[in-house]
Structure 1
Amino acid sequence: MRSQIFRSARSFISAASKQTSRSISGGRAAAAGATVSCRGRVSSLASYGASESGNAYRALISGALALPAAAFMLQEQEAHAAEMERTFIAIKPDGVQRALISEIISRFERKGFKLVAIKIVIPSKGFAEKHYHDLKERPFFNGLCDFLSSGPVLAMVWEGEGVIKYGRKLIGATDPQKSEPGTIRGDLAVVVGRNIIHGSDGPETAKDEINLWFKPEELVSYTSNTEKWVYGDN
């Protein structure tokens, strides 16, 4: 009887391993399916060994059952890591002078995004021109650069899932008059020329702006205590 149990257990472990391999390549749904499938095999196998109380038997079953569960957890972690991104956010001189720094930072924090770099600087006119290089041919280019270099700017890098796209939604439309209530510009700004904040508009822009404003060693990588409550990885 015991030899039959162990043959069945070995067969189960082999099947579980194959299910786990398929789940890793097939995504979250496949991983969850593998867990359900293996649990069914455990129920069947347990009927052979209901009267057996050996530690080896129980260890085989517990270890095999853990395989698909581990695969599912790995899939969740990999998906979370793949979706994390960084964006550049700057509070312009008007936002700094109006003492809106804490208000703006708190909105990003309350959403669940993580601050990974921050500094306050007064950019030169030449630096402002680099920042707005894509607008060089626009008639308002010179005025933009003059204003950005007119006083202190709070430069930041925020990290999170979907932070680039949602950061723009949080900021609101370029024209505060067209920004929805609840957005930063919709609530705190009135005219285009004093719209208090800048945010990267896409992945490539975010990368370029982060590299322009920050040195690599100024960016911090860490795990926030709130992440498990924001993303559910607990």
Structure 2
Amino acid sequence: MHIVITGANRGIGKTLAGRYRAQGHDVTGTARDGSAEVVLDVTDTGHHADMAAQLGDQPVDLLICNAGVYLDKAERIDGYPAEMWAQTFAANVTGVFLTVQSLLPNLRASQGKIAILSSQMASHTRAPGGSYIYRASKAAALNLGRNLAADLRGDGIAVGIYHPGWVQTDMGGAAAAITVDEAADGLVDRFAALSLDTSGCFETYEGQPHDY
């Protein structure tokens, strides 16, 4: 398989890339800082055009939309500046859409799959307050994935949305519940199981359906 992973320079993305390469798959990783095969700031339309040109007509069997930001972790109710909302949605929502849009011909060529990493924080059932921007952006990414699943079904492209767990990464913090290896192991299984029959699913890394 040819697998494209955004944000493949650290955390879950880097670990997933290593897993797939160890299995013998062809992996194209992206990173803003140039530390992966493709330079991609998911908010930059020029970068998307460059990525599409670099891949050419190479089919993509699995696109993993992993790149994202969590800028408001330390904000309090009197914070949350407007610019932070714009930056977060540009990366976590618009960036996902632009990535899918730019690689759609490659996905259609192989009737590939799209995996969008959202979060349990997207669910209306988990609303303890705080992290307003991140929660809202991940809810929007979930909604985006569900609608993409509907529109791309006719192309034979399955779309899944996933909660990777509370993971011990720079974003999740050292106190998080699971290691990045545990998250990657579960996600690899989830992506393998994704099909048109399950397209539009919102699942945990362990394979449990998640409330929307």
Instruction: Report the TM range for the smaller structure's normalisation.
Output: under 0.3
Which structure has the highest helix share of the two?
1
Q: Under a length normalisation based on structure 2, what TM-score does the superposition of the two structures give?
A: 0.22
- Structure number, greater radius of gyration: 1
